Amino acid sequence: MTLILVLAGFLGPHPGWAGDANTLFSTTAGTGPSISTIGNEHVLNLGKAEWEAIKTYCPGFQLHKQGHYMPEVVNSYHFSERQTLFAVIGDFNGDGKKDVVLQGYDKTSDLLIAVVSSAKGPRVIEIKKWTAIDMMKNAVIGLQREDYLTFVPKGKINSPIEKEPLRLSADAFQLVYFEKAGTVYYLSGGKFEQYTTGD
């Protein structure tokens, strides 16, 4: 079974899945995470095992919506099968299987997490966690997100900030602040390390 995290609108509960009725519905069987579209909205497809791993880590987890981002960010973003504003799909641990990084939140925190494959099934790695207070303040005064995710393939990366190039043996992702800073996150030793690409 594949679960689709939908970015806009109330879809109503699905009788085969007890989850967040405004963000989930189930479709036919699939293989790992993927990105598709429903109308003008980009959606993330997750297998049931991945979603259950997320809910075990954080029962109140919600994925960010496309409408949470600045229009300038949405209009200039390059959507692909590997990336959307709030999610990146890649093989981050180099085992040949698809993993996914997500921007989301719960009632108290803004969350950046990865769901990576393992011998025991998908597991969640918490990458960053911020207080949700600033996020809620921004929502009240009408500000939208300027930070978003992009896919970084394995290979060599140069940076004017860092002293040495970064050589990636597996896929990575970048957290970008629109027209500002950028940081590549790559998995090493079971946790995500940082490499600054812009400030």
Return the top range by mean pLDDT from 25-39, 136-150, 151-165: 151-165
Mean pLDDT value across the chain: 81
Provide the pLDDT for residue 136: 59
Provide the pLDDT for residue 128: 93
**Stated pTM of the model:** 0.82
Cβ atoms of residues 66 and 144 within 8 Å: no
Question: For residue 43, how far is the Cα from the chain centroid?
Answer: 11
Cβ atoms of residues 85 and 75 within 8 Å: no
Q: Three-state DSSP class for 33? A: coil
Provide the pLDDT for residue 5: 52
pLDDT at 32 over 70: yes
195 vs 143, higher pLDDT: 195
Nearest to 63 by CA among 23, 94, 99: 23
Q: Which of 21-30, 51-60, 83-92, 127-136 has the lowest mean pLDDT?
A: 21-30
Instruction: Give the CB-side neighbour count of residue 173, counting CA atoms within 13 A.
Output: 28
- Tokens representing 150 are 């992009």
Q: Please report, rounded to a whole number, the percentage of residues in the chain having pLDDT higher than 70.
A: 78
| Four-CA torsion 96, 48, 64, 35, nearest 10 degrees | 50
Q: How is the chain split into domains, by residue range?
A: 2-198
Provide the pLDDT for residue 181: 83
Provide the pLDDT for residue 144: 83
Cα Rg for the chain, rounded, in angstroms? 16
Provide the pLDDT for residue 131: 80
Cβ atoms of residues 199 and 183 within 8 Å: no
The model's pLDDT over 154-192, given as tens digits with 9 standing for 90+, comes to 999 999 989 999 999 999 999 999 988 899 999 999 999
The model's pLDDT over 74-98, given as tens digits with 9 standing for 90+, comes to 999 999 999 999 999 999 999 999 9
The model's pLDDT over 104-116, given as tens digits with 9 standing for 90+, comes to 988 888 999 999 9
Provide the pLDDT for residue 107: 86
Provide the pLDDT for residue 141: 47
Question: For residue 19, how far is the Cα from the chain centroid?
Answer: 19
- What is the C-alpha separation between 1 and 190, in angstroms, rounded? 28
The model's pLDDT over 139-148, given as tens digits with 9 standing for 90+, comes to 544 568 889 9
Confidence of residue 7 (pLDDT cuts 50, 70, 90): very low
